[in-house]
Amino acid sequence: MTDITRDACLALDQADTLRHLRDLFELPSGAKPTIYLDGNSLGALPKATAAAVATVVRQEWGQDLIQSWNKAGWFKLPQQLGNQLAPLVGAGPGELVVTDTTSVNLYKVLCAAAELARQQQPSKRVLLSEASNFPTDLYIAQSVCKQYDLRLELADAQDMVGALTSDVAVLMLTHVNYRTGAMYDMTALTQAAHAVGALTVWDLAHSAGAVPVDLRAANADYAVGCGYKYLNGGPGAPAFVWANPRVVSATHQPLSGWWGHAQPFAFDAAYVPQVGIDQYLCGTQSMLAMAAMRCGLDVYEQAKAVGGMAAIRAKSLALTDLFMALCEARCTTFGLHNVTPIEHAKRGSQVSLAASTGGYAMMQALIARGVVGDFRAGAATGEADLLRFGFTPLYTRFVDVWDAVEHMVHMLQGQEWLRPEFNQAQAVT
């Protein structure tokens, strides 16, 4: 791929069966084109979203007011969107709901898993996770461990199977690592966890909509994920939660809000949970956010006609293959090196480049050129600083990859990242 030309990338885009999906998104335009490679942090805006949210505001809320809970079907949106999302992660109908945030949903399923583990094998005292897991997952796990008298143990990704001892009650992992883009074999890790009597909790924040996931086939126990990355539901979009039917009603999640009640409009003072995944609902949902989330999921409905997740995954691998090859050929002499697995089965839909120095400023200089990725510091954990690039096949083109690397080379050759304005830290990196 290092011999590929820009014209060859344009030809790949012409042959791309997914290329028309890009037209469904409101991508930045102007005199200086933006190459958006940060869909692993915040997905792009579907063109349908503004009108859909406006309909909720002006008609459903503005005119129909409280009638819209019935007339517009607001009350059942968590289940309806859950059924729309379920096939993307290998869940069945009625097994997944769209609700709350990833952190809140993770708390729910970790508590349920800890309670179930305590019932089944009370001597198990360990909640196992990865040392470089996303911090909020570890923070939530620390809270749950205090409640259930568990001990949080962290292992390196390559040592995870060996860390699954007989003391492990729950294994909590993010399917695709937020820093490196490395992807676990969900089926193999779930089998290994079950072999020692542990339950599994999977965070699909960097997987859903980007790589094929089959929760049922993997026999996972619980899963959560967010809606604002590859699913393009908007900033702070509702998250989702799934529990395997064989465990979903074995224990109750701890946030016993009225939306999870078996008869919420009976207004009974005593809490009686719904049967199945609906018990994982808690409080009143944001209908504005739900409307935006539906628009993101609708794009995947259109993708079904051209191969769905299989086609999306194939393009993702081709895009990331190209990016890694071009960076290897043109950027390593400037102190950048790839930390994302080369092997297809072991990576998600992002590529991370480690910087020996100046990584934050390099990303700011790239953004000034119109190439938008993001930066993740590693000093706190002793890991390398990373420049992250997310590839969303729904709207990312092969020519975008070529042009992004071209900009990166010019930025590095000109040492643009040394300029003072690129070394001023902002609140969000």
Using the 3D structure, point to which of 234, 268, 301 is the last residue of a domain.
301
For residues 119-132, give the mean pLDDT. 96
For 109, the domain range is 52-301
41 and 56 in a single domain? The answer is no
pLDDT of 429 strictly over 80: no
Cα separation, 232 vs 152, in Å, equals 33
pLDDT of 227 strictly over 90: yes
What's the whole-model pTM score?
0.96
195 and 334 in a single domain? The answer is no
Residue with tokens 């409905």: 301
267 and 365 in a single domain? The answer is no
pLDDT of 196 strictly over 70: yes
Lowest mean pLDDT among 64-73, 90-99, 279-288, 417-426: 417-426
pLDDT of 384 strictly over 90: no
Q: What is the CATH number of the domain that holds 14?
A: 3.90.1150.10
Name the band, by pLDDT with cuts 50, 70 and 90, for residue 31: confident
For residues 364-391, give the mean pLDDT. 90
pLDDT tens digits for 103-116? 999 999 999 999 99
Q: pLDDT value at position 3?
A: 80
144 and 282 in a single domain? The answer is yes
pLDDT of 162 strictly over 70: yes
313 and 376 in a single domain? The answer is yes
Spatial contact of 54 and 32, defined as CB atoms under 8 Å apart: no
Catalytic residues: 134, 203, 228-229, 388
Q: What string of H, E and C letters represents the secondary structure of the chain?
A: CCCCCHHHHHHHHHHCCCHHHHHHEECCCCCCCCEECECCCCCCEECHHHHHHHHHHHHHHCCCHHHHHHHCCHHHHHHHHHHHHHHHHCCCCCCEEECCCHHHHHHHHHHHHHHHHHHHCCCCCEEEEECCCCHHHHHHHHHHHHHHCCEEEEECHHHHHHHCCCCEEEEEEECECCCCCEECCHHHHHHHHHHCCCEEEEECCCCCCCCCCCHHHHCCCEEEECCCCCCCCCCCCCCEEEECCCCCCCCCCCCCCHHHECCHHHCCCCCCECCHHHHHCCCCCCHHHHHHHHHHHHHHHHHHHHCHHHHHHHHHHHHHHHHHHHHHHHCHHHCEEECCCCCHHHECCEEEEEECCCHHHHHHHHHHCCEECEEECCHHHCCCEEEEEECCCCCCCHHHHHHHHHHHHHHHHCCHHHCHHHHCCCCCC
pLDDT of 390 strictly over 90: yes
Instruction: Give the chain's mean pLDDT.
Output: 96
pLDDT of 165 strictly over 80: yes
290 and 326 in a single domain? The answer is no
Residue 428 lies in a domain: no
For residues 364-384, give the mean pLDDT. 88
